[in-house]
Amino acid sequence: MQTEAITPQSPQELAAGLKQVGYLPGDSTALVSFLAIKLGKPVLVEGPAGVGKTELAKALASHLNRTLIRLQCYEGLDEAKSLYEWNYRKQLLRIQVESQQAGWQDVQDDIFGEEFLLPRPLMTAIASEEPVVLLIDEIDKTDQEFEAMLLELLSDFQISIPELGRIEARTQPVVLLTSNNTRELTEALKRRCLYLWLDYPGLEHELEIVHLHTPELDQAIARKLVEIVHQVRQLDLKKPPSIAESIDWARTLLLLGSGDIDQATFKETMSVIVKHRTDLDTVAARVGVTLQPADASAA
Amino acid sequence: MPPPRSPNPAKAIYGGIPEQPPGKLDGQLLSFAEDLRNEGVAIGTSEILDAFEAIAHVEWGEQQSFKEALSATLAKSADDRRVFDLVFDRFFFRAAEAQAARANITESPGSNGPNNNDINLDTLRQQIAAALRDGSDDALRDLARLAIAAFGRGEGSGVLGVDVQRIRRALGLRTEPQPDLPSDDPRHDGLPRDQLRKFEQHLRRELERNLIERTASLPPKRPLNELDRALPSGPIQDLAAVHKVVAQLKRRLATQGHELKGHNRHAHVDFRRTMRASLQTGGVPIDLKYRPKRPRRPEIFVLCDVSTSVTSASTFFLSVLHALHDAFRKLRSFVFIERISEVTDVFERERDFRAASEAISRDAGVADVSGYTDYGRVWLEFLTTIEDELHPRATVIVLGDARTNGRPPRDDVFAAITQKAGRTFWLNPEPRLYWNYGDSVIATYEQHCTAFECWRTDQLEDFVKALTRPDSP
């Protein structure tokens, strides 16, 4: 399955490659990703929910022909779940089998070998033979203690295990950290990363994205759809619609075979892009009424 | 690239760092970083090194790539990013102009590009409108110069904004559709607002460039407008200092998390880790391993007065609240005047301080009739809503001036609250000298809690020390 890994020579080349795998990067996205690969530095990707932060990692992995290793962060995530753990059951077995014949020193040397190590995502990424893409998703959900633990990994690409010594990266992984900006990350972490701020795309850019995913949808409708989504994002909502939701909406319209977005269609399908009770009311009152009434064309 | 020039330290563009004679870019970048630092962006040496490394990999022909490479390495938050954009424009524009002025490079009209008289005005209008629609930034810049050559001849009005609008009108560029134009004209359906604004920026910049050429001097460096940077604005005198302290506070609270834990006498044995440790002693569990003690961060309830008598202080308080919110996982914030209202979700939703304080003044609905603080009622409401959730590990912090406006202080209810909670602190924004004068009843409340005067930033720090001290009563 693994073909040879690709190393892009220019941001433009990388952008074209990402486009081939279904991700349309903005100029800065392509450039920063390119720098990350060239400089071997992790990238901290911040931005509102649903602008394609996680997608970027997936697209990079698939374009560069690398395995994607994903570490989903949550409150209380610790080393045992993210770095490594000793397989103590196996260690116990080994002791029972060997302790009769072998001397103490042998057993001790034995049971703290790599054989008894259970690698977790970060360790896997470091130890992999092939270069990988490592995605540390929603880093802002973890504690600051965990961030501190990441520092060694991010700056030197190595992990220290007290019993074993240092494990250094065999290949240079591309590391992406995403954050929804719910908590300010520490300076130390930021200092080690390149910074990429992903915002909602501009109208034309989003239109292209929608078109890429639903090529069958009529251009005029797609444009109207994106315009409405942009209008909706202007409102003060609990959760503004993401790019994924624009695409979902486009697919919905395609499935329903709608020829135009009028008031009726909008009312029926707006739950695809707006997902809060109060938001629904706001959107209906502010955006819905600006559309053509359904029976205007019929009458 | 500017033409090479003999090194002359006296001509350094900005005082601070002298230019490096051979590779002048280094000096420029360093002084750019210095400029950023002056505007409050924290940049370390490692970041500057990164920036140098990064720009080695991008093409400089396109300004956008150069800028993105720098911003990815230097500006590492949304706020910093905003400042970066402003400083970048200011810095490189001034640097280029200073260079040009020193080298006596001027652009005499007609020396490059088509002669002014040859410009067909209608074609130009069409070209600009088309470029606006297609959104090519570089084309826009070139067209902006042509537009100035065509329409903005002469000295102009002297006010850049007026000239920009005059040229825009002359070009007939509008965002709204212009149905009387032929349908193949790009302006027929109106032009995108963002593009038009960008074009206006180009116009402004080019006009400024002309001005510099005419007068052969740089206008003074304009410090970034506070509004541009979207920092909270308020009546408090020393907002910048508050923010600095609050930022330090955040860091300190973050690092002191461990000290906040309570006494945890009965630890639980971690079986897995005990077994693992026992391997070193041949399977005999000699060392008992305990479950790690999670740093216990106290549950904090903050009550903040936002009435008019403390207007100047509430900005201060709210920013403190905001800072606290990041540092403690369990923090519930309330604002009150006559009634009390929980605003915890506002802070969770809004990362930006200004947005948060706007949302609070808009939706909290804490003023009733008079708009004067009614402490008695507030205590009652607080106690009824939150009674079940107060426990001995909870910390209650009240931010207010304890001026009851002649209403009953109801310190009995307040005492009930303090008894239920583990610790209660009162932060008073008035100097101690004014305490208990007029309608201030802080002494009544002080019997039940620890009161701090808190109208200077160093006092705030004292309070934070008290708050994070582990062995408090």
Residue ranges of domains in chain A: 11-77+122-197, 84-119, 203-290
The pLDDT of A182-208, averaged and rounded, is 86
Interface probe with B: pick from A9, A31, A96, A181, most Cβ of B within 10 Å: A31
Q: What is the pLDDT of residue B6?
A: 41
Q: What is the pLDDT of residue B104?
A: 63
Taking the mean position of all CA atoms in its chain, how far away is CA B204? Answer: 26
For B:241-260, CB contacts with A below 8 A are 250, 254, 257
SS3 A54: helix
Q: Do B283 and A92 count as a contact with CB atoms less than 8 A apart?
A: yes
Q: Give the CATH H-level superfamily of domain A11-77+122-197.
A: P-loop containing nucleotide triphosphate hydrolases (3.40.50.300)
What does pTM read for this prediction? 0.60
Q: What is the pLDDT of residue B59?
A: 78
> DSSP labels for B352-416?
SHHHHHHHHHHH-----SS-S--HHHHHHHHHHHHGGG--TT-EEEEES--B-TTS---HHHHHH
The pLDDT of A71-90, averaged and rounded, is 85
Q: Do A181 and B282 count as a contact with CB atoms less than 8 A apart?
A: no
Interface residues of A toward B, Cβ cutoff 8 Å, are 10-11, 27-28, 31-32, 34-35, 38-39, 41, 43-44, 46, 75, 86, 88, 91-92, 95-96, 99, 104, 108, 111, 144-145, 181-184, 186-187, 190-191, 193-197, 202-204, 238
Q: Do B71 and A88 count as a contact with CB atoms less than 8 A apart?
A: no
Mean pLDDT of chain A: 83
Q: What is the pLDDT of residue B230?
A: 32
The whole-angstrom distance between A71's CA and the closest CA on chain B is 22
Q: Which helix (H) or strand (E) holds A68?
A: strand A67-72
- Report the chain B residue with the minimal C-alpha distance to residue A184: B326
**Nearest-by-Cβ selection for B72 from A92, A104, A195:** A195
**Nearest-by-Cβ selection for B326 from A99, A111, A184:** A184
- A194, A42 in Cβ contact below 8 A? yes
Residues in A closer than 8 angstroms to B59, CB to CB, are: 10
- A183, B326 in Cβ contact below 8 A? yes
**B247: Cα within 13 Å, side-chain hemisphere:** 12
**Nearest-by-Cβ selection for A35 from B72, B77, B276:** B72
**Nearest-by-Cβ selection for B279 from A43, A111, A195:** A111
The whole-angstrom distance between B326's CA and the closest CA on chain A is 6
Residues in A closer than 8 angstroms to B44, CB to CB, are: 191
Q: Is B279 at the interface with chain A, CB within 8 A?
A: yes
Q: Is B46 at the interface with chain A, CB within 8 A?
A: yes
Q: Is B282 at the interface with chain A, CB within 8 A?
A: yes
Interface probe with B: pick from A87, A184, A203, most Cβ of B within 10 Å: A184
The whole-angstrom distance between A3's CA and the closest CA on chain B is 26
Q: Report the Cα–Cα distance between both ends of chain A, in Å, rounded.
A: 58
Q: Is B416 at the interface with chain A, CB within 8 A?
A: no
Q: What is the pLDDT of residue A1?
A: 41
Q: In what order do the strands lie in the sheet with A174-179?
A: A67-72, A132-137, A174-179, A43-46, A194-197
Which residues are A85's β-sheet partners?
Answer: A118
Cα separation, A71 vs A94, whole angstroms: 31
Nearest to B360 by CA among B319, B398, B324, B403: B319
Residues in B closer than 8 angstroms to A204, CB to CB, are: 135
Q: What is the pLDDT of residue B21?
A: 36
The whole-angstrom distance between A187's CA and the closest CA on chain B is 9
Q: Any residues with CB less than 8 A from the CB of A293 and at least 6 apart, and which?
A: A262, A263, A264
Q: Do A184 and B77 count as a contact with CB atoms less than 8 A apart?
A: yes
Cα radius of gyration rounded to whole Å, chain B? 31
Size of interface A-B (CB pairs under 8 A): 91
ipTM given for this complex: 0.79
Top-tier CATH class for B239-261+296-468: alpha beta
Nearest 5°: phi and psi at B126? -65, -45
Residue ranges of domains in chain B: 9-102, 116-215, 239-261+296-468, 266-293
**B13: Cα within 13 Å, side-chain hemisphere:** 29
Q: Do B65 and A197 count as a contact with CB atoms less than 8 A apart?
A: no
Q: Is B47 at the interface with chain A, CB within 8 A?
A: yes
Residues in A closer than 8 angstroms to B283, CB to CB, are: 92, 95-96, 99
Per-residue pLDDT of chain B (473 residues; tens, 9 = 90+): 444 444 443 333 333 333 433 456 788 888 888 888 887 788 888 889 888 888 888 877 777 888 888 888 988 887 788 778 878 877 877 777 777 666 666 555 444 444 445 556 777 777 777 777 776 677 777 777 777 777 665 556 666 667 777 777 777 777 777 666 666 666 666 677 777 777 887 777 777 777 766 665 655 555 544 333 333 333 333 455 566 566 666 665 555 444 444 444 456 788 888 888 888 887 788 878 877 655 455 678 888 887 766 666 666 676 666 666 666 657 788 888 888 888 777 776 665 556 666 677 666 666 555 667 888 888 888 888 887 888 877 888 888 888 888 888 888 888 888 888 888 888 887 778 888 887 888 888 888 888 888 776 667 777 777 776 654 44
Nearest to A204 by CA among B131, B178, B189, B134: B134
Q: What is the pLDDT of residue B215?
A: 63
- Report the chain A residue with the minimal C-alpha distance to residue B325: A183
Q: What is the pLDDT of residue B243?
A: 60
Q: Is B194 at the interface with chain A, CB within 8 A?
A: yes
Residues in B closer than 8 angstroms to A189, CB to CB, are: none
**Nearest-by-Cβ selection for A95 from B44, B73, B283:** B283
Q: Do B351 and A186 count as a contact with CB atoms less than 8 A apart?
A: no
Cα separation, B38 vs B88, whole angstroms: 13
- Report the chain B residue with the minimal C-alpha distance to residue A104: B282
Q: Do B57 and A38 count as a contact with CB atoms less than 8 A apart?
A: yes
Q: Do B257 and A190 count as a contact with CB atoms less than 8 A apart?
A: no
Summarize pLDDT for A252-295 with one digit per residue, the tens.
Answer: 988 888 777 888 888 888 888 888 877 888 888 877 777 776 55
Nearest to B195 by CA among B216, B173, B211, B227: B173
Cα separation, B289 vs B271, whole angstroms: 7
Q: Any residues with CB less than 8 A from the CB of B134 and at least 6 apart, and which?
A: none
Give percent above pLDDT 70 in chain A.
92
Residue B374 Cα distances to A178, B332, B336, B438, angstroms: 45, 21, 9, 15
Q: Any residues with CB less than 8 A from the CB of A169 and at least 6 apart, and which?
A: A126, A127, A157, A158
